Amino acid sequence: MSFFFPLPALLSSFSRFLFGFLIISILLPDLASTSTSNIPTKIGKGYRLISIQESPNGGLLGLLQVKQKNNIYGPDVSLLQLYVKHETDARLRVHITDAGKERWEVPYNLLPRETPPSLKQTLGRSRKDANTLKPSEYAGKELVFTYTPDPFSFSVKRKSNGQILFDSTSEESDPYSGLVFKDQYLELSTKLPKDASLYGLGENTQPHGIKLYPNEPYTLYTTDISAINLNADLYGSHPVYMDLRNVEGEAYAHAVLLLNSNGMDVFYRGNSLTYKVIGGIFDLYFFSGPSPLDVVDQYTAFIGRPAAMPYWAFGFHQCRWGYQNLSIVEDVVENYKVAKIPLDVIWTDDDHMDGHKDFTLNPVNYPRPKLLAFLDKIHARGMKYIVIIDPGIGVNKSYGVYQRAIANDVFIKYEGKPYLAQVWPGAVNFPDFLNPKTVEWWGDEIRRFHELVPVDGLWIDMNEASNFCTGLCTLPEGRICPNATGPAWECCLNCKNITKTRWDDPPYKINASGIQAPIGYKTIATSAYHYKGVLEYNAHSIYGFSQAVATHKALQGLEGKRPFILSRSTYVGSGHYAAHWTGDNKGTWEDLRYSISTMLNFGIFGVPMVGSDICGFYAAPTEELCSRWIEVGAFYPFSRDHANHRPQELYQWESVAESARNALGMRYKLLPYLYTLNYEAHTTGAPIARPLFFTFTNETDLYGLSTQFLLGRGLMVSPVLESNKTEVEAVFPPGSWYDMFDMTKVIVSKESHHIVLDAPLHVINVHLYQNTIIPMQQGGMISKEARTTPFTLVVAFPLGATRGEAKGNLFLDEDELPEMKLGNGYSTYVDFYATVKKGTVKVWSDVEESKFALEKGWKIEKVTVLGLQGSGSAIEIEVDGNVVQDTSTVEISTTEHAYTEGLEESGGDKMKNVMVEVKGLELPVGKKFSMSWKMGIKA
């Protein structure tokens, strides 16, 4: 749900901009005074390094002194502590803070990391004459830190080839300053090569695709404005970017994280990047890569590996804001079943609540006895139920949740009293999740609610935090709020703007909401404070993150099950606890395209379980658009239809239902593959959905491709993203690509090139890349059933190869156990291998922890091998080293491949390239097997 500028949701981007600016200008007439046009381009003369030596833990510890003070955006901090440390072979940290006093940092208990040396250690060291300090290097295994003393600047380079990854030098001709460090304004820049491709810096709806676009605004500050707003700070703050460069045909990737939760503008000019931050410190982390997968591995090793998701979470989800009573929900579930469209999870927005209050049930529309009976029914089927909770707790003396909150003193404060805001229940207070007592109280409320309604996961929304009012508000005695005479998002409290503090009106204005809105606009006042006096000014962008941490802890304590949390607001590390959807979008073709870029960015951010509202949240989509959207959304890692008060379920149109059956039918066959990618993400950080350059890193033409994506290493989705199209132009990187809906069809590409594919209304093009093995099952209407069906292994060789190899894997576990790991007796991991050489095809497996799969009785009944030459002969099979004597049930069939394109490039003979299917197998997944046959291929 979103409240921000609901009317402009229907307007053009420019109209929304004007509308928003007019609204804020009327409400806040001082906005015009925030202009910074009179501020010089360069601020100050930077700092000089006056001492540096080795720290007790093997890093560098130095002292920086300002060269020339000025009062632009406030006085300079005179002395800074510099701390540099190679924390791992691939990670370098550069930490710069006030040497005289502690400053705000992202709490170490929320994002665990090494603690820098104390400030006293810096000030206690003798200072050396700056003239004696010379440029010097501090080298690690992969990265080298180099510094220049006066004016102080530093660079980070790659040790293997000397490539400079970050360079903070400010030349006279550069349009940015050197190091600037004031209480409420920090600035730092780096030079960049013009051919670098940058990704990240979100959350942001980027109209140009996944690559960062020079001179577009990149503002980071968690804000409830809908995802339909382009180039604006949205729900999450992820101050990290990945830099991909191709040097003489070789790709090198690295990432830079600025671990800072304050509001910031990041200016990317193509050949430079500048941070302008309104508080905190510079805490920079450099991740050396060199591949994109290496970067995400190193990044998530630091911020926290992505959360393990239960198997059912990869099924299809249905939600609508407007399921006004339980009977509608029951009808939706039944209609999906009748339409034969898979469905695993049914959701309710705040319709189930009593007066929009968290942890309550509407006694009329969602009576508990009937709801429990409904849940018993769907749980028996294997389905799940998830509900929404917002952070705002209704101010109501008869409301038990509020009573217990007051008794435990859990709310964010302003001048000693709980800060008053307004959201859907009316007047609310916001829990302070930085307070340990709040975390305990929140966990107890979730436990109480779970006893009332045994939900299977929680959806935390509006947690930027969103507020329908601005400033310091009161609720006059006797006033009803909301008053039911106007829209629920209209502020009905008595409020006054707060501009008396420098926290509410900082000297530098970030480009909040894309219009330089005051940072306290429609959120918690930034001069409100949290536990131990922490200002909302500093902690604002970690609010949703802290709520996700508390919610995850609470759910882990229930029934020993793996938590499922969906969060709108995210920060660095949120993926360790929660999934994410991309917020309130529109039912337009543009929004469908944007969804791919945002999804791919979140994979880089360490939040791989991500998807957009299928068919759009606002404004009814056309039938054709919804049909095309489910074809894409069926391959989002998180696949959910969610709409605003209008029936948009996939069965509402027969044509959409047909597209859904086709696309979701394939998704449910691929569930073992998707779940294995979930395990890979949980253990290495690898995104589930990836840009094509993650696999084809040397193909520079793919660096900006935002209309196709990969699932894992080699499953490519090429959707139709425009109206009235029955073809799609797709890029095919070099190699052999097999059509997943008809595996006899193959495209062979010698070089990356565009191919026009047939794509009638109900067709989505999905292709499997060579050298890949993927496990599949037979699908079904629900993941619980699909999971019990026999397995098929699909082995893809390069077309016509006389020598080749392919690999794949499979992870299986008791998916609701809290931990996703091997060695607990409830999981199995299988590596699959295949080779073709010397005229023989061989497929085999290697199994870790076989017990779980054997107890479940899973079997492989078919192996399909793609791209072979010639016909097969008698097959030999071994299981656990023992030859299978009776292969009478095994059938081998061959089918010629049909060439879409590239036969002459493949060098193959059309008559000899075939798909071989081996059916009638009874291979236990939990046992090592080997099978081979002669193909009559010349070596």
Query: If pLDDT is split at 50, 70 and 90, which confidence band does 901 have?
Result: low
Which tens digit of pLDDT belongs to each residue from 46-78? 999 999 999 999 999 999 999 999 999 999 999
Lowest mean pLDDT among 14-18, 259-263, 563-567, 871-875: 14-18
Q: What angle do CA 376, 378, 379 make, to 5 degrees?
A: 65
* Spatial distance between the Cα atoms of 525 and 517, rounded to a whole number of angstroms: 13
Q: Predicted confidence band at 909 (pLDDT cuts at 50, 70, 90)? A: very low
DSSP three-state, residue 830: strand
Q: pLDDT confidence of 939, banded at 50, 70, 90? A: very low
Average pLDDT over residues 750-770: 96
What is the pLDDT at residue 40? 73
Query: Which string of b and e fits 475-485 if b means at least 16 CB within 10 Å?
Result: beeeeebbeee
87-112 burial: b if 16+ Cβ within 10 Å, else e: ebebbbbbbbbbbeeeebbbbeebbe
With a pLDDT cut of 70, the percent of the chain lying above it is 93
- pLDDT, one tens digit per residue, over 588-624 is 999 999 999 999 999 999 999 999 999 999 988 999 9
What DSSP line would sit under 101-144, residue for residue?
Answer: S------TTTS--PPPPPHHHHHTSPP--GGG---EEEE-SSEE
Identify the active-site residue in 584, 641, 813, 815: 584
| Confidence class for position 482, pLDDT limits 50, 70, 90 | confident
Name the band, by pLDDT with cuts 50, 70 and 90, for residue 124.
low
What pLDDT is stored for residue 66 in this prediction? 98
pLDDT above 70 (res 19): no
| Residue from 461, 485, 428 nearest 350 by CA | 461
Distance from CA of residue 522 to its chain's centroid? 25
How far, in Å, CA of 253 to CA of 757, rounded?
32
* Predicted confidence (pLDDT) per residue in 454-474, tens digit: 999 999 999 999 999 999 999
CA-to-CA distance for 237 and 261, rounded, in angstroms? Answer: 8
pLDDT tier, 559 (very low <50, low <70, confident <90, very high otherwise):
confident
SS (HEC) of 511-567: CHHHCCCCCCCCCCCCCCECHHHCEHHHHHHHHHHHHHHHHHHHHHCCCCCCCCEEE
pLDDT band at 33; cut points 50, 70, 90:
very low
Say how far apart CA 82 and CA 93 lie, in whole Å.
Answer: 10
Cα separation, 72 vs 75, whole angstroms: 7
Annotated catalytic residue within 349, 456, 464, 649? 464
Q: What is the pLDDT of residue 478?
A: 86
CB of 522 within 8 A of CB of 496?
no
CA distance 419 to 411: 7
Per residue in 506-551, pLDDT (tens digit) is 999 999 999 999 999 999 999 999 999 999 999 999 999 999 999 9
Based on the residue annotation, tell me whether 584 is a catalytic residue of this protein: yes
Distance (Å, whole) CA 209 – CA 134: 44
Question: DSSP characters for 91-105?
Answer: EEEEEEEESSS----
What residue type is 73 in one-letter code? Answer: Y
393's tokens = 């707790």
Per the omega criterion (within 30 degrees of 0), is the bond before 760 cis?
A: no
- Band (pLDDT 50/70/90 cuts) for residue 936 is low
Q: What percent of the chain has pLDDT over 90?
A: 87
Q: What is the pLDDT of residue 32?
A: 34
Q: What angle do CA 160, 161, 165 make, to 5 degrees?
A: 100
Q: How far apart are CA 580 and CA 589, in angstroms?
A: 21
Q: What's the pLDDT band for 16 if we cut at 50, 70, 90?
A: very low
pLDDT tens for residues 283-313?
A: 999 999 999 999 999 999 999 999 999 999 9
DSSP reduced 3-state for 155:
strand
Write down the residue that tokens 């879409």 correspond to: 900
Of 11-20, 250-259, 381-390, the least confident: 11-20
Q: At what angle do helices 436-452 and 543-556 cross, to 10 degrees?
A: 50
Q: What is the pLDDT of residue 560?
A: 87
For 254, 301, 358, 691, the CA distances from 685, given in Å and listed in that order, are: 15, 8, 33, 15
- Spot the catalytic one: 349, 358, 432, 461: 461
DSSP letter for 510, please.
Answer: -
Q: Name the more confident of 903 and 26.
A: 903
pTM of the entire predicted model: 0.95
Average pLDDT over the chain reads 93
pLDDT at 153: 98
Considering all CA atoms of the chain, what is the largest pairwise distance in Å, rounded to the nearest integer? 91
623 three-class SS: helix
461 is catalytic: yes
Position 41 confidence tier, pLDDT thresholds 50, 70, 90: confident
